């Protein structure tokens, strides 16, 4: 009955909030025409949201009513309800479009936090089956931005997009000098729906907080308000891609040749049109194609881990949307191979619209935290979690969310204490952990700085990529994180102690100890691989 009452509340609250205040919003707005569009769109979206939420709640309540907890019958019915509810949520995301598609994409990355039925449903659709703008709408954008149609701007232009995402779609074209390019065209409705999505999200979040004061996701509205305009400016995206590569050549030259972003055709790009070098490659989760191209999935996983570790801990300028559709991999153009004759991979980063900058203090604390997590240092975990805003009461939970491991595993001194095997028991354990501490998780997300929340989203995406490549995580992945975070901490400490030779010596000795520990971990990994090869397990 409680769930049924909640469903009714959601519908009534959605209806009341969607209709109340519309006239006032139009009357007080500096742009009444835009406000009218927003205020006519918001009620429809809110009613859809409320109806979908109520439908899902009722389905769970009535389908599971009277079935004993833990019984096979209940598990079977729950699986069916999960599937139905995931499809309802998928339909809602597609009907509303825009930001809702991005939400669905994020759900598809939460491998270990929500039921697998939701993850699989969203992953199969949100990354490659987004709504498509018609060719007439594409022409409308071209005329507004460049004053010409696509056929006038390019020698060839395929009217059928090769990919469509939440904010834009991509067409293949050829310039008049014969270069093959990818043209990213913003959906024509985004300007209006973006404002409506923000207004809708704010109403939903405020309503949830009103109904349940412990559920506070108002930070999400602030993040959408800040990040969405940047993602809708394709010239900003182009500048981000250039800065990203410059950072690798300047601060991480040892892997710079292994990371690439498409070159931008600036004369054919505007805030709503982006023309880039066309890239051939396999999606980072397409293990079959990666192998056909002569590369090893494990080496691709290592490259992905090192690339983003360098961004987070050394550059402080992080690509925050690394889901599978935004990461391609191809053999290194130089033809370089590994000692086993496999082709070296090159990671191609796409969609540079969402970046976050970490200031020195945040980057230093975040690198120090990950170093402490890898080396199972409870004091370091607590100290740096507190510095990042988790507080002395929730630092254990923060460590669990970052690693997807319970606290007893986080501080286990075994070398593979953070490794997730991707088994059903692993997944069940983490989902139970998340549901048990949901109020505390909500409080933690409210406390953390928004830049750290984006790092959590990035971790979710990378974890999903690793799971696709390795069917879980690997010890080697965490060794890379431990090494790069340690290097970043040492560099930061050296910068802070420019004139103290004694302090430099202490830092150097500290680094030698950590290098020795990493060597031990490497040896342990080698022994595990030898044992696996010998025993076949």
Give the domain ranges of the chain: 1-127+194-221, 130-186+233-251+262-278, 252-261+280-357, 360-535
On the CB side of 413, how many CA atoms lie within 13 Å of its CA? 2
300: exposed, middle or buried (C-beta count within 10 Å: 0-12, 13-18, 19+)? buried
Active-site residue, selected from the candidate residues 49, 59, 321, 460: 321
Contact 193, 228 (CB under 8 A): no
Total residue length of the chain: 537
Beta strand pairing status for 345-349 and 163-164?
unpaired
Kindly report the number of other CB atoms within 10 A of residue 527's CB atom: 11
**337 backbone dihedrals φ, ψ, rounded to 5°:** -125, 165
Give the pLDDT confidence score for residue 363 in this predicted structure: 95
Spatial CB neighbours of 442, under 8 Å, sequence gap ≥ 6: 214, 215, 216, 217
Q: Determine which helix (DSSP H) or strand (DSSP E) holds 329, and give its type and residue range.
A: strand 327-331
Give the pLDDT confidence score for residue 382 in this predicted structure: 97
Distance in angstroms (rounded) separating the CA atoms of residues 380 and 74? 43
Distance in angstroms (rounded) separating the CA atoms of residues 314 and 264? 25
What kind of architecture, by CATH, is found in domain 130-186+233-251+262-278?
2-Layer Sandwich (3.30)
Give the pLDDT confidence score for residue 418 in this predicted structure: 85
Kindly report the number of other CB atoms within 10 A of residue 370's CB atom: 27
Kindly report the number of other CB atoms within 10 A of residue 498's CB atom: 8
- Based on the residue annotation, tell me whether 460 is a catalytic residue of this protein: no
Which residues of the chain fall below pLDDT 70?
1-42, 109-113, 127-129, 191-193, 208, 211-212, 214-217, 220, 422-432, 434-435, 472, 496-537
**509 backbone dihedrals φ, ψ, rounded to 5°:** -65, -40
DSSP state of 311: I
CA 78 centroid distance within chain: 28
Q: Which two tokens stand for residue 466?
A: 């690793």
Distance in angstroms (rounded) separating the CA atoms of residues 381 and 373? 6
Give me Rg for the CA atoms of the chain.
Answer: 25
């Amino acid at each position: 009955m409680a769930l049924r009452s909640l469903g009714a509340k959601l519908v009534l609250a959605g209806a009341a909030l969607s209709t109340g205040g519309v006239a006032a919003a139009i009357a007080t707005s500096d742009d009444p025409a835009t406000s009218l569009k927003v205020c006519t769109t918001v009620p429809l979206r809110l009613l859809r949201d409320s109806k979908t939420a109520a439908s899902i709640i009722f389905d769970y309540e009535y389908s599971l009513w009277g079935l004993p907890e833990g019984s096979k019958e209940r598990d079977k019915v729950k699986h069916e309800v999960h599937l139905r509810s995931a499809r309802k949520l998928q339909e809602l995301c597609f009907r509303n479009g825009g930001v809702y598609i991005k939400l669905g994409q994020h759900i598809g990355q939460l491998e270990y936090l929500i039921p697998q039925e939701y993850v699989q449903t969203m992953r199969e659709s949100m990354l490659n089956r987004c709504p498509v703008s018609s060719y007439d709408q594409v022409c409308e954008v071209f005329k507004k931005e460049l004053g010409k149609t696509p056929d006038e701007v390019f020698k060839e232009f395929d009217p059928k997009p090769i990919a469509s995402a939440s904010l834009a779609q991509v067409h293949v074209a050829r310039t008049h000098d014969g270069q093959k390019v990818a043209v990213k065209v913003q959906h024509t409705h985004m300007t209006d729906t973006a404002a409506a999505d923000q207004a809708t999200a704010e109403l939903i979040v405020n309503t949830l907080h009103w109904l349940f004061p412990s559920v506070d996701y108002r930070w999400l509205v602030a993040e959408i308000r800040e990040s969405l305009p940047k993602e809708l400016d394709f010239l900003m995206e182009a500048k981000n891609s250039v800065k990203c590569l410059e950072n690798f050549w300047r601060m991480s030259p040892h892997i710079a040749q292994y990371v690439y972003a498409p070159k931008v055709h600036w004369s054919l790009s505007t805030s709503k049109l982006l023309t880039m070098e066309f890239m051939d490659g396999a999606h980072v989760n397409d293990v079959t194609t990666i192998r056909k191209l002569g590369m090893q999935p494990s080496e691709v996983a290592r490259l992905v881990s090192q690339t983003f570790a360098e961004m987070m801990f050394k550059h402080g300028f992080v690509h925050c949307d690394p889901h599978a559709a935004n990461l391609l991999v191809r053999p290194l153009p130089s033809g370089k191979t590994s000692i086993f004759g496999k082709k070296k991979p090159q990671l191609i980063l796409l969609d540079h619209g969402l970046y976050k900058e970490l200031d020195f203090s945040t980057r230093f604390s975040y690198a120090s935290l990950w170093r402490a997590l890898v080396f199972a240092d409870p004091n370091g975990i607590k100290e740096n979690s507190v510095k990042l805003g988790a507080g002395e009461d929730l630092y254990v939970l923060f460590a669990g969310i970052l690693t997807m491991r319970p606290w007893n595993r986080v501080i286990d001194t075994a070398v593979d204490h953070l490794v997730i095997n991707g088994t059903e028991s692993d997944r069940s354990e983490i989902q139970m952990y998340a549901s048990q501490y949901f109020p505390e998780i909500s409080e933690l997300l409210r406390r953390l700085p928004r830049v750290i929340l984006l790092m959590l989203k990035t971790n979710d995406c990378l974890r999903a990529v690793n799971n696709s490549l390795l069917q879980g995580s690997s010890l080697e992945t965490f060794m890379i994180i431990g090494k790069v975070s340690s290097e970043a901490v040492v560099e930061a400490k050296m910068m802070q102690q420019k004139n103290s030779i004694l302090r430099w010596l202490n830092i150097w000795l500290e680094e030698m100890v950590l290098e020795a520990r990493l060597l031990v971990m490497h040896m342990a990994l080698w022994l595990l691989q030898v044992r696996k090869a010998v025993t076949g397990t």
